[in-house]
Amino acid sequence: MVLLTVHWYASQMISATRPHTADLADPLYYLHNFQTVLDWVGERHGDLLAPEEIEFLEAFRALPEPSRALLARMVMRKGEYFRGDRLGYREVGDTAVAMVPLISAGWVDGDPLLTLETLFALCTRDELKSALRQRLAERGLALSARKTSWLAALREDGDQARTAKAWGWDGVSVYRLRIRPLCDRLRLMFFGNLHQDWSEFVLAEQGTFLYETVTLSRASRPFQCREEVDAYLDLAACRQQFDGDGDLTALEQALLPRLEALPDNPWLRERGHKLLFKVARERERRGEEQAALTLYQRCHYAEARARELRVLEKTGRYDEAYQLARSAEAQPRNEAERQQVQRVLPRLQRKLGQPVRRAGAIPTHDEFELTLPYYPWVELAVRNHMRTASEPVYYVENTLINSLFGLLCWEALFAPLPGAFFHPFQSGPADLYRGDFFSRRRELFERALACLNDGSHRAVILQRFEEKQGRLSPFLFWDALDSELLTQVLDCIPAEHLRLCFERLLADPRANRSGLPDLIQLWPRQRRYRMVEVKGPGDRLQDNQRRWLDYFQQHDIPVAVCHVRWRETG
């Protein structure tokens, strides 16, 4: 029966490209959404499901509607333990009756063992005082004390978990949801991550979030084998451990073998090594340089080599640092690493008694100063000072160039490529930050950028601004845009300058989406513009800002840095 069911799920054709979000006026909207996820996973991931998971999908559909609704409610709430008197839902009816099939199926424990901590989390202070009165008196604990004081004292007794009745708490039914891990696995297989949850359906139905419609085939799924799902969940458990007790030794013992056993999946590998990088950074922050260095050397995350270089220099291992810096200089992983190496190499050469090799002329940027009355937002102070009716100045920072790029290249960004879109609640492609993001869409991006050659980009951007209004995109900042700004900007910025900016965004979307200048100053009559980076008293340019400024200077894109001083008042 199980084999036949797996085959049935695996062979089904997908009838819709987008699952239906239930009408919120329906009292059972959440149940319909839950069933949608189960059906979606069964159809697209049937070959990755274990027999007990297939059986759950079948058995759930066969339950009475109140029982299905109650289970969906419990799954969508936090935690594993629930008080029966707090599981009252009108559409479910009698909770105790609806619970019986769930207990019979083994999905809910009707009389679970409770640790002392769980008991305290479930009970009110008065309930605890009644249940534990004798224990509190024996320990000499005042009945007027706080719950936290009682818990701290009673922990010392080392009690084993026991039922609510055995704790002396009676009169309220307690239930434990036993299938939380199974439901989390199904949710992961639907979303491709664990940070999205069941509320996505509600937010989409309310119109809070608007998503681009992308055609999803049966191949549109985040995982291609069960081992990949297992690996993701293992890494998620390690991340939870990292965010929890801070025992780095235990975490490393759990994480390192998992990294060695990861499937041949680039994005899972990057996810795992990013966590390893975080562990190494925490070792470094704690002053454990050698332990941090060992982890950096095992880590393949893009920033790991730069941190390894810093630790080697900090600990006086200048020869090793110099060799590593030369290697990074020859083949930098990104612009940020190249920038750091250029900064570190002269120091290392001096410490090693070598001739200092200059990296070349240090870029200089146009600069000017303004002395203004104090204003709490320095960028707006400069904007208000510089703008006139005929020469507007807008505060745009990272919003403008990103949004122009996102509008022009919309079709390329939302192309339904394998491994890009898994479900209908994605604001952008899942592979946005992977190394082959551009190469997989080269033709689509080249077609979009070709609009800059004949001037048709203006019409495309303005049309997309109207058509896609409010839809989520990793590059769109709708609140910062209006048609007047776009029209003026497209009149003033040459197409070749836009192309240069867009090409740099594509070279490294993760790093280059930030660091852009704060303001844009427009001269509509002359059809020209200038970008302005604003620095208040004591502020310095950040590395990513310097990289954009250097890039602008290399390509003759008008930009300046404005240094602000506050005018002294009485």
Over residues 227-254, the mean pLDDT reads: 93
Over residues 201-216, the mean pLDDT reads: 87
pLDDT band at 9 (very low <50, low <70, confident <90, very high): very low
Query: Are the C-beta atoms of 372 and 385 separated by less than 8 Å?
Result: yes
DSSP result, 58-117: HHHHHS-HHHHHHHHHHHHSSSSEEEGGG---TTT--HHHHHHHHHHTTSEESS--B-HH
Name the CATH code of domain 221-351 (choices 3.90.1150.10, 1.25.40.10, 1.10.2020.10, 1.25.50.10): 1.25.40.10
| Structural tokens at position 362 | 């240090």
In sequence order, the β-bridge partners of residue 529 are 522
Over residues 458-465, the mean pLDDT reads: 98
- The confidence score (pLDDT) of residue 2 equals 34
The residue whose two tokens read 């190496």 is 341
User: Which string of b and e fits 129-142 if b means at least 16 CB within 10 Å?
Assistant: bebbeebbeeeebe
* C-alpha span between 521 and 370 (Å, rounded): 15
Instruction: Show the beta-strand stretches assigned E in 489-558.
Output: 519-523, 528-535
Q: Which of 450, 436, 440, 452 is nearest to 416 (CA)?
A: 440
pTM attached to this predicted model = 0.86
Torsion of CA 203, 208, 210, 215, to 10 degrees: 10
- The confidence score (pLDDT) of residue 194 equals 94
- The confidence score (pLDDT) of residue 12 equals 34
Tens of pLDDT, residues 497-554: 999 999 999 999 999 999 999 999 999 999 999 999 999 999 999 999 999 999 999 9
- The confidence score (pLDDT) of residue 18 equals 53
| Structural tokens at position 494 | 């040459």
* C-alpha span between 269 and 292 (Å, rounded): 20
Q: Which of 422, 416, 464, 423 is nearest to 440 (CA)?
A: 416
* C-alpha span between 365 and 561 (Å, rounded): 7
Tens of pLDDT, residues 44-62: 999 999 999 999 999 999 9
pLDDT band at 16 (very low <50, low <70, confident <90, very high): very low
Residue 62 has a CB neighbour count (10 Å cut-off) of 10
Asked if residue 113 has pLDDT above 70, the reply is yes
Cα 465 to chain centroid distance, Å, stands at: 26
Query: Are the C-beta atoms of 225 and 263 separated by less than 8 Å?
Result: yes
**Residue 558, SS3 per DSSP:** coil
φ, ψ for residue 162, nearest 5 deg: -150, 170
Q: Which of 35, 95, 44 is nearest to 62 (CA)?
A: 35
The residue whose two tokens read 């839950």 is 34
Tens of pLDDT, residues 62-93: 999 999 999 999 999 999 999 999 999 999 99
Instruction: Show the beta-strand stretches assigned E in 255-353.
Output: none
Asked if residue 10 has pLDDT above 60, the reply is no
- The confidence score (pLDDT) of residue 109 equals 98
* C-alpha span between 22 and 34 (Å, rounded): 10
Asked if residue 299 has pLDDT above 80, the reply is yes
Residue 437 has a CB neighbour count (10 Å cut-off) of 19
Over residues 200-218, the mean pLDDT reads: 86
Asked if residue 169 has pLDDT above 90, the reply is yes
Asked if residue 407 has pLDDT above 80, the reply is yes
Please report, for the chain, the start and end positions of each structural domain, with discontinuous segments joined by +.
1-110+173-209, 119-171, 221-351, 366-566
- The confidence score (pLDDT) of residue 362 equals 62
Asked if residue 298 has pLDDT above 90, the reply is yes
- Sign of the Cα torsion 504, 510, 512, 518 reads positive
**Residue 372, SS3 per DSSP:** strand
Average pLDDT, the chain: 92
* C-alpha span between 117 and 140 (Å, rounded): 20
- Above pLDDT 90, what percent of the chain? 84
Amino acid at 354: Q
Phi-psi region of 182 (alpha: psi -120 to 50; beta: other; left: phi over 0): alpha
pLDDT band at 8 (very low <50, low <70, confident <90, very high): very low
Residue 266 has a CB neighbour count (10 Å cut-off) of 12
* C-alpha span between 31 and 206 (Å, rounded): 17
**Residue 518, SS3 per DSSP:** coil
- Sign of the Cα torsion 188, 192, 194, 199 reads negative
Asked if residue 150 has pLDDT above 70, the reply is yes
Over residues 242-262, the mean pLDDT reads: 92
* C-alpha span between 424 and 21 (Å, rounded): 10
Asked if residue 413 has pLDDT above 90, the reply is yes
Phi-psi region of 367 (alpha: psi -120 to 50; beta: other; left: phi over 0): beta
Query: Are the C-beta atoms of 72 and 20 separated by less than 8 Å?
Result: no
